[in-house]
Amino acid sequence: MRKIVLFILSTIVCLYSVISCVDVNVEDYSSQTNSEKPVQGVSSEDTTEEDASIESSAESSFQEEPPVYESIYPVDYSERVAYYTNYELTADVNDAYFNDSVFVGNSIMLHYKNYVTSARGSVSGLLGNANFFAAASFSFYNNKNQTADQSDCAWPVYQGEKLNITSAVNKMGVQTVYLSLMALNDIAIYKDGMTGVDETFVLLTALIDELKNTNSNLNIVIIGNTYLHSSSNNMGNKLNNGSIHTFNTKVLDYCNQNGLDFIDVAYALVDDNGCLGTEFCSDVGSSVACHLNKNAFNAWTELLRDYAGKKQAGRWANPTELKGFNY
């Protein structure tokens, strides 16, 4: 009997020990899992470095949106007229951007030279020390095909010598050429408007290549061709606003494909019909009304300064297309 009692007591003690051990083990495991169990192989410093690496990777994968072209002048024509008629020409921090540059073009650019030269008397440093190389009747055609000894040579004069564009640019030693499109003197010399557009485009791109081959560091910026006043916009003529628009568009596409800047100075000056506005034209009533007045050159100056400011801030973008009209 005694042996039976001892066996029962021994069994109870063992069961109590087993139960106690199980309870302790479960409690310890639970405690480690929920609050105290260490993370094997990863320290708090390692976690910080990993987070930093993830953040760095996220930053490197983020790309800033490219700049988008934006016009700065009023959309409404009457507001544009009022704005540029009352435009106050003063000194501007962006003028120095045009140091060591030359503006090239025909009679329209020659008139802008006169505007800038006159204004520099009261606005010191207007467009920096930019030079001008322009003449009446100048064109890409006679730049390529004429010679200085011809009596009708339309080449501009630099330091008393008639030169073509490449020779003048090399002699000036400038860093940037602002090349104004001269379709007004080019398109009409060919058999039809489309031929004029295509042939003038060939001359322009060949000139750009020639300038770049002479000086690979030369910066070339295109200034768009302005339009005809409505009184001269005869669609039956080879030169009309339709052919000018086609040429501008063709050159803009070339610039966007080849990394050249294109400054559109034309659309700030057009009326609601897409023609050079009366308030911006200096020769309304002439056979080819296309020249610009002070209001128009006020617009040019603001647009050029806007270009300079955006270039320096890394925010310049060419138009992706030009505003279309039903020419």
173-182: pLDDT as tens digits: 999 999 999 9
**Pair 33, 95 in one domain:** no
**Pair 154, 293 in one domain:** yes
pLDDT of residue 140 exceeding 60: yes
**Pair 188, 246 in one domain:** yes
Domain count, the chain: 2
CB 275 within 8 Å of CB 233: yes
pLDDT of residue 4 exceeding 90: no
In this predicted structure, what is the pLDDT of residue 220? 98
In this predicted structure, what is the pLDDT of residue 325? 83
Report yes or no on 168 lying in a domain. yes
Question: Once rounded to an integer, what is the mean pLDDT over residues 255-278?
Answer: 97
In this predicted structure, what is the pLDDT of residue 30? 39
Each residue's pLDDT tens digit, 8-43: 445 444 444 444 444 433 334 334 444 444 444 444
**Pair 149, 1 in one domain:** no
**Pair 31, 95 in one domain:** no
**Pair 30, 149 in one domain:** no
Residue range of the domain that includes 259:
77-313
Torsion over CA: 99, 226, 161, 219 (sign) = positive
Report yes or no on 226 lying in a domain. yes
Report yes or no on 171 lying in a domain. yes
Report yes or no on 47 lying in a domain. no
Question: Once rounded to an integer, what is the mean pLDDT over residues 232-242?
Answer: 96
Q: In Å, how far from its chain's centre is CA 56?
A: 30
Q: How confident is the model at residue 52 (pLDDT cuts 50, 70, 90)?
A: low
What is the CATH classification number for the domain harbouring 110? 3.40.50.1110
pLDDT of residue 56 exceeding 70: no
Report yes or no on 137 lying in a domain. yes
**Pair 112, 165 in one domain:** yes
**Other CB atoms within 10 A of residue 83 CB:** 17
